[in-house]
Amino acid sequence: MKVFGHQGMREFVLCLGYKGNLIKEFFLNYEAMTNDIQVQLGVKFGLTYLGEHEEQDYTVKLVETGPTAGTGARVARIQRHVAGERFMVTYGDGLANVNIPQLIAFHEAHGKLATITTVRIPGRFGVVDASPEGRVARFREKPTEDAWISAGYFVFEPGVFEYLWPTDDCILERDPLERLVRNGQLMAFRHEGEFYPMDTHRDHLALNELWSSGKAPWKIW
């Protein structure tokens, strides 16, 4: 949210599912948890927040979309909250320094219903090149293949809702995007910057270490 907010997009709809109550509690207590507080005790009890955080003008809608809904179903269930406007969708487990104005400009230029942001396949492991007989030719350290994967960060026109349905079995990355491809309505924006998925416990540890060290490349604010 800070990546978006820092670049001028400050209206959010969160699609809540499993343990959505914890996310609600986080935002309901946000002011108390992110500010210094002055407390007046007694019959004139009152709270005064001392200072301001950077999220002063964020608007956050917390929408229950079900504990088992697929990604497409969750988007379908928030249709009433985007009011027929162009909107963006991203996941909660991918960190990137995507240039949002450039992404939107790309989307506006091609005039299609949808844009997906792609990144090069991250090279986590070295590669061993060997012949069919097993003779090792060389080691290659973390090669960068000329292949691209989805990083999320979609831009959608309202017409995308015609490709979605609200039942739990609607998975955004399957039939909806595949039909957009068949209809020539999906374009790819290539993000050449940083992207870090948090898919495993190992990712969790590594990314938190980057954050704690002050070297998080996705921190653009």
User: Under a CB-based contact definition with an 8 Å cutoff, are residues 125 and 99 in contact?
Assistant: no
Q: Please indicate, yes or no, if residue 121 is contained in any of the structural domains.
A: yes
Q: Please indicate, yes or no, if residue 220 is contained in any of the structural domains.
A: no
Q: Is 28 left (phi over 0), alpha (psi -120 to 50) or beta?
A: alpha
Per-residue pLDDT tens digits for 126-140: 565 666 765 656 666
Check residue 141 and give its pLDDT. Answer: 63
- In percent, the amount of the chain with pLDDT more than 70 equals 89
Least trusted range by pLDDT, from 31-40, 60-69, 94-103, 158-167: 31-40
- 174 pLDDT band, cuts 50/70/90, is very high
d(CA 175, CA 49): 48
Closest CA to 119 of 217, 6, 7, 11: 217
- 145 pLDDT band, cuts 50/70/90, is low
Check residue 43 and give its pLDDT. Answer: 93
Q: Please indicate, yes or no, if residue 219 is contained in any of the structural domains.
A: no
DSSP states of 30-57 = HHHHHSEEEEE-STT-EEEEES--TTTT
Task: Residue 17: give its domain's CATH number.
Answer: 3.90.550.10
Q: Tokens 């162009």 correspond to what residue?
A: 86
Average pLDDT over residues 195-208: 94
> How far from 65 is each of 12, 23, 52, 150, 194, CA to CA, in Å?
15, 13, 31, 23, 30
Q: Tokens 């990604």 correspond to what residue?
A: 71
Q: Please indicate, yes or no, if residue 218 is contained in any of the structural domains.
A: no
d(CA 32, CA 165): 38
d(CA 213, CA 219): 12
Indicate the number of domains in the chain.
1
Instruction: Show the domain range for 193.
Output: 2-212
The pair of three-digit structure tokens given for residue 149, joined into one six-digit string: 């994967």
